[in-house]
Amino acid sequence: MIKRIKAKEILDSRGNPTVEVELETDKGVFKASVPSGASRGKYEAVELRDNEEPYQGMGVSKAVKNINDVIASEIKNKDEAEQKQIDELMIKLDGTKNKSKLGANAILSVSMAVCRAGARSKDLPLYQYINQFFKGFVKIPRPCFNILNGGAHANNNLDVQEFMVVPDKGSFSENFQIGKDIYHNLKNILNKEIGKKGIVMGDEGGFAPPINDVRQALDFIMEAAKGCDIKIGLDCAASEIKKGMYHIEFYQGLARDYPIIFFEDPFGEDDWESFKNITKELNVIIVGDDLLTTNIKRIKQAKAKEACNGAIIKINQIGTITETFEAIRLVKSYGWKIIISHRSGETTDSFIADLAVGSEAEFIKSGAPYKKERLAKYNRLLKIENQLNNLTT
């Protein structure tokens, strides 16, 4: 039974305020904190900000107040294992289509804490508890390391937002080691070729060199990954760049010349026709992020229009764990690939690592293998893999 809930402001990895919740039950105290994106799709649930002078309008005291003054009393004495009922209650309390009254950041932080408390109430690790909602098997995802940053995540002229290496070894620990080695190789190459300006970091821990040529960036990565069995994923975040700047031919050329495994958001979030055409034409995974925003309605539209065959899942795009589970189940029913994703403004909360394992996602994005808030997710995956290995020996 939920005994107490208290929210407060903390700072995320960009130094912007975000929400942290403490939820107390008979089994203990459970914390959760929510991330924030720099490039946000227009169909995402609304992140409530103060829009007042402190923190350049980025404060979250209103969201915190909504938890402490509105949500807390409504969910007190509720059963923490009743995730769906609690999430539906918060959605009803908000009363808007996009969670703009209470704030998706307020609702999600509570929803995450409830999920953690629910797992403890059943004496299960979080990933196994989550897996009960999917009735499948747990699986460690392949990591997508964002080692070179552009777009809204960096102060350079690269339009592509994320250049990711995706190692393909048998275990997560091996994949992590490969990603870490490539990251350090890339640092040495950029330092040698460009100098200190080449190893300035972007928001997600990847390097943000002062270059503007996508192919030059890819060539640097291929040199750093020489001898390694890797694929490359690109988050083009096309909703953030000039309309029509890139065409299918551009992506065809990249897929021909580099080991591309997926293109994420290669076109703008409303350019259904281009998404359909590239999904039909290219033999790589076409992933929707801003296109889908972890939203059931958008995912169904994309299926009907044959617009993609992969989905980014971001818990703060939709704002509750229950709705996230529903989105994942729908995507899985279509046979699409799933990438569980962090945001550029992160905390050390590792919830998405357990989500990826428990939902059997194929991939996870948590930035570069560097910086505390990114490593929190990767360290959690290493720990889970070790636990699973011990169960089978």
Indicate whether 301 pLDDT > 60. Answer: yes
Q: Look up residue 189 and give its two tokens.
A: 């190459």
- Whether 153 and 227 map to the same domain: the answer is yes
Query: Of 123, 158, 173, at which residue does a domain stop?
Result: 123
Instruction: Tell me the pLDDT tens digit for each residue of 211-245.
Output: 999 999 999 999 999 999 999 999 998 875 555 55
Position 309 confidence tier, pLDDT thresholds 50, 70, 90: very high
Question: Has residue 68 been placed in a domain?
Answer: yes
Q: Which residues are catalytic?
A: 204, 314
Q: Please check whether residues 211 and 100 belong to one and the same domain.
A: no
- For the sheet with 28-33, list strands across it: 2-11, 17-25, 28-33
Mean model confidence pLDDT for the chain:
95
Q: What percent of the chain has pLDDT over 70?
A: 96
Burial class (CB in 10 A: 0-12, 13-18, 19+), 296: middle
Same domain membership, residue 264 and residue 232: yes
pLDDT in the model for residue 159: 86
119 and 149 inside one domain: no
Q: What is the pLDDT of residues 10-33, one digit of tens each?
A: 999 999 999 999 999 999 999 999
The whole-number pLDDT of residue 170 equals 85
Contact 140, 351 (CB under 8 A): no
Taking only the tens place, the pLDDT of each residue in 122-142 is 999 999 999 999 988 999 999
Is residue 343 one of the residues assigned to a domain? Answer: yes
pLDDT, one tens digit per residue, over 79-111 is 999 999 999 999 999 999 999 999 999 999 999
Q: Would you say 259 and 289 are in contact if contact means Cβ atoms under 8 Å apart?
A: no
For residue 89, the domain's CATH number is: 3.30.390.10
In the chain, the DSSP E strands lie at 2-11, 17-25, 28-33, 142-149, 162-167, 230-235, 260-264, 285-288, 310-313, 337-341, 363-365
* Mean pLDDT score, 147-157: 80
- pLDDT value, residue 391: 81
Contacts of 262 (CB under 8 A, 6+ apart): 233, 234, 284, 285, 286, 287, 310, 337, 339
Q: Residue 196 contacts by C-beta under 8 Å, 6 or more apart in sequence?
A: none
Could you give the percent of the chain with pLDDT greater than 90?
89
**Residue 270 included in any domain:** yes
Confirm whether pTM is higher than 0.85.
yes
Question: 101 near 30, Cβ under 8 Å?
Answer: no
Q: Which of 89, 123, 157 is the last residue of a domain?
A: 123
| 110 shares its domain with 174 | no
Do residues 154 and 276 share a domain?
Answer: yes
29 is a domain residue: yes
Q: Is the pLDDT of residue 153 over 60?
A: no
Mean of the pLDDT values across residues 48-63?
A: 93
More confident residue, 244 or 184: 184
**pLDDT beyond 60 at 284:** yes
Q: Quote the strand ranges of 80-190, DSSP E.
A: 142-149, 162-167
- Report the alpha-carbon distance of residue 194 to residue 154 in Å, rounded: 16
The pLDDT of residue 380 is 99
What tens digit of pLDDT does each residue of 168-179 get? 998 999 999 999
Query: How far apart are the C-alpha atoms of 262 and 164, rounded to whole Å?
Result: 10
Give the model's pLDDT for residue 50: 96
| Domain membership flag for residue 136 | no
pLDDT higher than threshold 90 for residue 53: no
For residue 357, what are the contacts with CB-CB under 8 A and spacing of at least 6? 127, 130, 131, 138, 139, 140, 141, 381, 384
- Indicate if 111 and 201 belong to the same structural domain: no
Same domain, 146 and 208: yes
Question: 216 and 317: one domain?
Answer: yes
Q: What are phi and psi of 207, to 5 degrees?
A: -80, 150
Dihedral angle sign, alpha carbons of residues 40, 331, 164, 10: positive
Phi-psi group of 300: left, alpha or beta (phi > 0 → left; psi -120 to 50 → alpha; rest → beta):
alpha
- Is 357 within 8 Å of 143 (Cβ atoms)? no
Last residue of a domain, one of 123, 151, 170: 123
Query: Does residue 130 sit within a domain?
Result: no
Q: What is the pLDDT of residue 392?
A: 72
Structure confidence at residue 42 (pLDDT): 86
Question: Is the domain of 114 the same as that of 170?
Answer: no
Question: Is the residue at 22 inside a domain?
Answer: yes
Specify the number of domains making up the chain: 2
Domain region containing 209 = 142-391
What average pLDDT score do residues 264-279 get?
Answer: 96
* Whether residue 10 is found in the same domain as residue 83: yes
- Lookup: tokens for 316: 């703060």
Query: Residue 295 and residue 324: Cα distance in Å, rounded?
Result: 8
pLDDT at 54: 86
* CATH code of the domain containing 253: 3.20.20.120
74, containing H or E segment: helix 72-75
Same domain, 87 and 149: no
pLDDT grade, residue 393 (50/70/90)? Answer: low
In a domain, residue 253? The reply is yes
Alpha carbon dihedral 89, 95, 99, 102, in 10-degree steps, equals: -80
Higher-confidence residue: 338 or 392? Answer: 338
